Chain A
Amino acid sequence: MLYIKCPHCGMRPQIEFSYGGDASVKRPELNKEISDQEWDDFVYNRKSLRGKHLELWQHISGCRQWIKVERDTATHEIFNTFKADEGVV
């Protein structure tokens, strides 16, 4: 079982959360011309890093807030958690 420290509620077990994928993916700016490649990178292409990975989780059985979690994808160690609008981008 992973234990994730929700920045709003404190340490909670993994089963209270739902996974939301890579948090480093950014939606392209809509006020400029966007290439197909940029859309591909946003919608489909992922680095899927081995090691430190910044990802989104939602505390669905708690405060229902989206949060960011910095976690190792090889060891599952969690280094840090942030509110959705905080932390490393």
Chain B
Amino acid sequence: MQKYSIFNLVKNAFSNHQNWDLAWKDPEPKEEYDVVIIGGGGHGLATAYYLAKEHNITKVAIIEKGWIGGGNVGRNTTIIRSNYMHDENGLFSEFGMDLWRKMSQDLNYNVMFSPRGIINLAHSDAQMNAYARRGNSMRLNGIDAVLLNREQVKEIIPMADFSENVRFPIFGGLMQPSAGTARHDAVAWGYARQADDMGVDIIQNCEVIGFDVSAGKINGIRTSRGNIRAKKVGLCVAGSTNILAEKLNMTLPIETHLLQACVSEPVKPVLDSVVTFGAGHFYISQSDKGEMVMGGDLDGYNSYAQRGNLPTLQHVLTEGIAMMPFLSKLKMLRTWGGIMDMSMDGSPIIDKTHIDGLYLNCGWCYGGFKATPASGWTFAHTIAQDRVHELNAGYSLNRFNTGHLIDEKGLGTKTWIS
């Protein structure tokens, strides 16, 4: 594989960049693999990469219905954080933060990781107390957290509305300085390029139409491009999880919902951190190109549409303008939607299933992108060793049966309520 470097860039400039190797091949599916990963998104590609890198399993195929990186890894708002209170989420995400910090070097691909910090705004004394508690829980798990008062928040985001007669006056906030953003497409492409180089087959435009299960064991999958035998199969399909689960006669604690995001026209640098305004269902950051990247809550009803509805967008932006009035001057550049695998407690599932050799990775709700490396790493471990790692032990499928829910947001079984 050609290394991406300044020297190779200069060298290839002499041939007008016509002689670069393809970043990954376009192979025909083979008849048999050791592991088949369904879903060529961030999590699936990362899983294949860590299977090859950490476990030396390279007879691996990624089966993708469309094109790699065309789902939620290409549709998110690129936020990376580990500001969770519960141990399961905090330790898992902080492990991921380490992988993020090393990712550009690991993958020889600039993922533009930018640890610019995230601030969750608070609007009452009670919320400040709750944030103090969460911040302390984070610090006990080795995650950086700083409780900011009103003046400190004002220094970081002076453009926000700090008047006192608003519905949600800014009292302060909880900041994780090491959180940030990354170039989402580069994450998918970087993992794909390395996985391909280690022998993984990335098979696009290939739809899974069924599974070959006998005597409680998986033997392979049926696809639009023929049958493929496999000793192990991993599901990594986010919003499409229920569609595949139905083919396996499984009913999961997952509902598929629609989440929108949007960007404004590019403007000069104004915001150098990620800011969430939870009370108003709004969050914002500024991309390297200068666009204001904004999002909010779910549209609020089951949907596979991958495109949004205006009332939710209007609500999100109304709240955004209430928090940062200057936004009203900007023009909207683009809006889009993706479909989320909303789990019933708001936390993900990375686990084995009742079918031997079938593994499940789903339930990422709002937080799939930032989990990409940790999800891939732990899912690869779970598949390779046929047992969960301690980092994803809490993300079990049967926690809904045993009552060990990880209810980070306190939303109960209706995580789609906003």
A41 near B304 with CB under 8 A, answer no
A76 near B401 with CB under 8 A, answer no
How far is A29 from B414 in the complex, measured between Cα atoms in Å?
A: 22
Q: How many A-B residue pairs have CB under 8 A?
A: 72
A14 near B400 with CB under 8 A, answer no
B302 near A73 with CB under 8 A, answer yes
Q: Is B114 part of the binding interface, using a Cβ–Cβ cutoff of 8 Å? A: no
B400 near A48 with CB under 8 A, answer no
Which of these, B242, B246, B344, contacts A44 with CB under 8 Å?
Answer: B344
**Which one of B166-174, B250-258, B267-275 contacts A?**
B250-258
B269-309 near A? 1/0 per residue, CB < 8 Å: 00000000000000000000000000000001111110001
Closest Cβ–Cβ distance, residue A34 to chain B (whole Å): 13
Q: Is A75 part of the binding interface, using a Cβ–Cβ cutoff of 8 Å? A: yes
Q: Contacts A41-B251, A43-B413, A46-B251 hold; do A15 and B304 have CB atoms under 8 A apart?
A: no
Give the chain B neighbours of A73 by CB distance below 8 A.
256, 302-305
Give the chain B neighbours of A55 by CB distance below 8 A.
301-302
Size of the chain B interface, CB-CB below 8 angstroms: 24
How far is A71 from B414 in the complex, measured between Cα atoms in Å?
A: 19
Q: Is B6 part of the binding interface, using a Cβ–Cβ cutoff of 8 Å? A: no
Q: Contacts A43-B413, A44-B400 hold; do A2 and B309 have CB atoms under 8 A apart?
A: yes
How far is A3 from B401 in the complex, measured between Cα atoms in Å?
A: 38
How far is A73 from B306 in the complex, measured between Cα atoms in Å?
A: 10
Give the chain A neighbours of B309 by CB distance below 8 A.
1-2, 14, 76
A76 near B253 with CB under 8 A, answer no
Q: Contacts A1-B309, A1-B310 hold; do A46 and B252 have CB atoms under 8 A apart?
A: yes
Smallest Cβ-Cβ distance to B405: which chain A residue: A44
How far is A85 from B400 in the complex, measured between Cα atoms in Å?
A: 30
Interface residues of A in 8-28 (CB under 8 A from B): 13-15, 18-19, 21-22
How far is A55 from B344 in the complex, measured between Cα atoms in Å?
A: 17
Smallest Cβ-Cβ distance to A71: which chain B residue: B301
B413 near A48 with CB under 8 A, answer no
Q: Is A36 part of the binding interface, using a Cβ–Cβ cutoff of 8 Å? A: yes
Give the chain B neighbours of A74 by CB distance below 8 A.
303-305
Give the chain B neighbours of A32 by CB distance below 8 A.
none
Instruction: Tell me the B residues contacting A by CB distance below 8 Å.
Output: 242-243, 246, 251-256, 300-305, 309-311, 344, 400-401, 413-414, 416
With A43-B400, A44-B413, A48-B242 known, 8 other A-B pairs at CB within 8 A are: A1-B310, A14-B309, A19-B300, A46-B251, A48-B254, A55-B302, A73-B303, A74-B304
11 contacts between A and B (CB under 8 A): A19-B301, A21-B302, A43-B344, A45-B400, A46-B253, A46-B255, A47-B251, A50-B242, A50-B304, A73-B256, A76-B303
